[in-house]
Structure 1
Amino acid sequence: MTKSREAEEHKCVRPPEQHVEDLRLKLLRAPPAMLIGGRWRPASSRSAFEVEDPSTGTLVTTAAAGGHEDIELAVRAARSAFHNGPWSRLSGARRMGLLMALAQALEEDELDLSFLEAIDTGHTLSSIRNGDVPLALRALRDNAGWAAKISGETPMHPAEQAAFSYYIREPIGVVGIITPWNAPLLMVLQKLSAALAAGCTVVIKPSELAPLSALRIGQACDKVGIPPGVVNIVTGTGEEAGRALTEHPDVNLISFTGSTVVGKSIMAAAASTNLKRVVLELGGKSPVLVFADADLDKAARSIVSEITFKSGQYCAAGSRVFAQASIQDALLTRMRAIMDGMRIGPGTDANTDMGPMICAKQRQRAAEIIGHSIQAGACVVRGGHARVGGGYFFEPTILTNASAQMRVSREEIFGPALVVTPVPDEASLDEVAALANDSIYGLSAKIWTRQIRIAHGLIHRLEAGQVVVNGGGGEEVLPFGGVKQSGYGRENGRNGVDAYTEIKSIRLGF
Structure 2
Amino acid sequence: MDKPTIDLSLPKTPREFGFFVDGGWIGAGDRDVFERNSPGHNVPVSRIPKCTEADLDMAVASARRAFDDRRWSGLSGADRAAVLLKTAEGIRTRAEEIAYWETLENGKPISQARAEVGGCIGMFEYASGLARAIHGDSFNNLGDGMFGVVTREPVGVVGLITPWNFPFLILCERVPYILAAGCTIVAKPSEVTSVTTLMLAEILHDAGLPDGVMNVVTGSGSTIGQGLIEHDHVDMLSFTGSTAVGRRVVEASGRTNFKKLGLELGGKNPQIVFADADLEDAADGVAFGIGFNTGQCCVSGSRLIVERSVADQFADMVAEKFKKVRVGDPLDEATQVGAITTDAQNATIMGYIEKGQSEGATLLHGGEQLDFGRGQYIAPTLFGNVTRDMAIAREEIFGPVLTVMPFDTVEQAIDIANDTEYGLAASVWTKNIDKALTVTRRVQAGRFWVNTTLSGGPELPIGGFKQSGWGREAGIYGVEEYTQIKSVHIEIGKRSPWVE
If the TM-score is normalised by the length of the shorter chain, which range does it land in? over 0.9
Q: How does 1:180-329 map to 2 (within 5 A)?
A: 180-329=163-312
Deviation at 1:24, TM superposition (A): 2.3
1:20 to 8, 11, 14: 8
CA deviations on 1:204-236 (whole Å, 9 max, x unpaired) are: 000112111001111212212211111100011
Contact 2:140 2:147 in 1 (8 A): no
Deviation at 1:127, TM superposition (A): 1.3
- 1:417 aligned onto 2:398: no
Deviation at 1:58, TM superposition (A): 2.2
Contact 1:44 1:66 in 2 (8 A): no
Contact 1:363 1:392 in 2 (8 A): yes
1:102 to 87, 91, 114: 87
Q: What is aligned with 1:66?
A: 51
- 1:503 aligned onto 2:485: yes
* Number of aligned residue pairs: 490
Contact 2:458 2:474 in 1 (8 A): no
CA deviations on 1:236-261 (whole Å, 9 max, x unpaired) are: 11111100000000100011111111
Contact 1:307 1:416 in 2 (8 A): yes
Opposite residue 378 of structure 1, the aligned amino acid is: A
Deviation at 1:135, TM superposition (A): 1.6
Contact 2:126 2:458 in 1 (8 A): no
Q: Given the two structures, how large is their TM-score scaled by the length of structure 1? A: 0.93
Q: What is aligned with 1:51?
A: 36
Q: Secondary structure at the match of 1:494?
A: helix
Q: Given the two structures, how large is their TM-score scaled by the length of structure 2? A: 0.95
Q: What is aligned with 2:426?
A: 445
Opposite residue 471 of structure 1, the aligned amino acid is: T
Q: What is aligned with 1:462?
A: 443
CA deviations on 1:104-160 (whole Å, 9 max, x unpaired) are: 011011111111111111111221222x112211111111211111111002336x6
Deviation at 1:73, TM superposition (A): 0.5
Q: What is aligned with 1:164?
A: 147
Q: Secondary structure at the match of 2:309?
A: helix
Q: What is aligned with 2:496?
A: none
Opposite residue 458 of structure 1, the aligned amino acid is: V
Deviation at 1:44, TM superposition (A): 7.6
Distance in structure 2 (CA, Å) of the matches to 1:278 and 1:291: 38
Q: Which shifted more, 94-103 or 337-346?
A: 337-346
Distance in structure 2 (CA, Å) of the matches to 1:432 and 1:212: 42
Q: Which runs of 5+ in 2 are unaligned?
A: 493-500
Opposite residue 58 of structure 2, the aligned amino acid is: L
Deviation at 1:84, TM superposition (A): 2.0
Distance in structure 1 (CA, Å) of the matches to 2:449 and 2:324: 26
Q: Which runs of 5+ in 1 are unaligned?
A: none
Opposite residue 93 of structure 1, the aligned amino acid is: A
Deviation at 1:57, TM superposition (A): 2.3
Q: Which shifted more, 43-52 or 355-364?
A: 43-52
Q: Which shifted more, 40-49 or 404-413?
A: 40-49
Contact 1:444 1:464 in 2 (8 A): yes
Opposite residue 8 of structure 2, the aligned amino acid is: V
Opposite residue 28 of structure 1, the aligned amino acid is: P
Distance in structure 2 (CA, Å) of the matches to 1:491 and 1:166: 26
Q: Tell me: CA distance 1:46–1:475, structure 2 relative to 1, closer, same or farther (3 Å).
A: closer
Q: Secondary structure at the match of 1:148?
A: helix
CA deviations on 1:257-301 (whole Å, 9 max, x unpaired) are: 111111111111111110000110111000111111111100000
CA deviations on 1:330-377 (whole Å, 9 max, x unpaired) are: 211211111111221121111111101101110100111121121111
Contact 2:364 2:383 in 1 (8 A): yes
Contact 1:75 1:203 in 2 (8 A): yes
Distance in structure 2 (CA, Å) of the matches to 1:333 and 1:453: 27
Q: Tell me: CA distance 1:122–1:474, structure 2 relative to 1, closer, same or farther (3 Å).
A: closer
Aligned-residue CA RMSD (Å): 1.6
Distance in structure 2 (CA, Å) of the matches to 1:357 and 1:198: 36
Opposite residue 228 of structure 1, the aligned amino acid is: D
Q: Secondary structure at the match of 1:460?
A: helix
- 1:37 aligned onto 2:18: no
